């Protein structure tokens, strides 16, 4: 049996693979990794909801694209351990193509309410958590230890485009199911 607990983190510290030493769990590097993990979980929730709720054609494409996002977030996280070359411009281009594809047929005249179906609402939650992860990553990169993370610019571009792709997915699902609700100011 594999035990999930090691008791090594009971003191509020964890091992940072990048620094090869233990650091506090509230260090910006660990906070960024935790928020990336949270974003990945919310994308997983959107995948599960899409499988249950959407018609087959729309669900298959969306589920496949969301799986790509989850795997990409793992690569972003692994980069925080010092591994370079796991994210790059190919990922940025794919995310841009994905966002453009989902935005076809979406009329954005005003701000939209993040609602719609369970799937579109969960995509909006995932998008907002990815945005929070982006802010946490920026804070982490501003620390001396964060300067050691490889491919920082690529990470920021990937995470920024990922939130765009998630917004586009949410808007697309809403248009295809219940229609967008606009916010007038």
Q: What is the CATH number of the domain that holds 147?
A: 1.20.1200.10
pTM, rounded to two decimals:
0.94
Domain count, the chain: 1
Q: What angle do CA 50, 53, 57 make, to 5 degrees?
A: 65
Distance CA 86, CA 91 (A): 10
> Residue 6 is encoded by which pair of tokens?
């090691």
Q: What pLDDT does residue 73 have? A: 98
Tell me the C-alpha distance between 170 and 122, whole Å.
8
Query: Per residue in 117-130, pLDDT tens?
Result: 999 999 999 999 99
What is the sign of the dihedral through the CA atoms of 141, 142, 146 and 150?
positive
On whether residue 5 sits in a domain, the answer given is no
Could you tell me if 64 and 91 are in contact, meaning their C-beta atoms sit under 8 angstroms apart? no
- Say whether pLDDT at 11 is over 90: no
Instruction: Using alpha carbons, list the distances in angstroms from residue 48 to 62, 112, 118, 122.
Output: 11, 24, 10, 10
Residue 70 has pLDDT above 80, yes or no: yes
Domain for residue 108, yes or no? yes
The answer to whether residue 65 sits within a structural domain is yes
| Residue 146 is assigned to a structural domain of this protein | yes
């Amino acid at each position: 049996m594999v035990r999930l607990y090691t008791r090594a983190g009971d003191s509020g510290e964890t091992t940072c693979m990048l620094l090869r030493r233990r650091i506090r769990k509230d260090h910006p590097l660990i906070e960024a990794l935790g928020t990336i993990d949270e974003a990945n979980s919310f994308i997983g929730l959107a995948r599960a909801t899409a499988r249950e709720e959407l018609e087959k054609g729309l669900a298959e494409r969306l589920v496949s694209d969301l799986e790509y996002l989850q795997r990409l977030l793992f690569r972003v996280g692994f980069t925080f351990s010092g591994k370079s070359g796991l994210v790059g411009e190919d990922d940025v281009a794919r995310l841009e193509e994905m966002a453009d594809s989902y935005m076809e047929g979406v009329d954005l005249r005003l701000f939209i309410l993040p609602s719609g179906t369970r799937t579109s609402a969960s995509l909006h939650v995932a998008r907002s958590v990815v945005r929070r992860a982006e802010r946490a990553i920026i804070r982490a990169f501003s620390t001396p230890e964060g300067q050691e993370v490889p491919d920082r610019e690529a990470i920021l571009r990937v995470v920024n485009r990922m939130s765009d792709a998630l917004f586009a997915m949410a808007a697309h699902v809403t248009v295809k199911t219940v229609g967008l609700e606009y916010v007038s100011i």
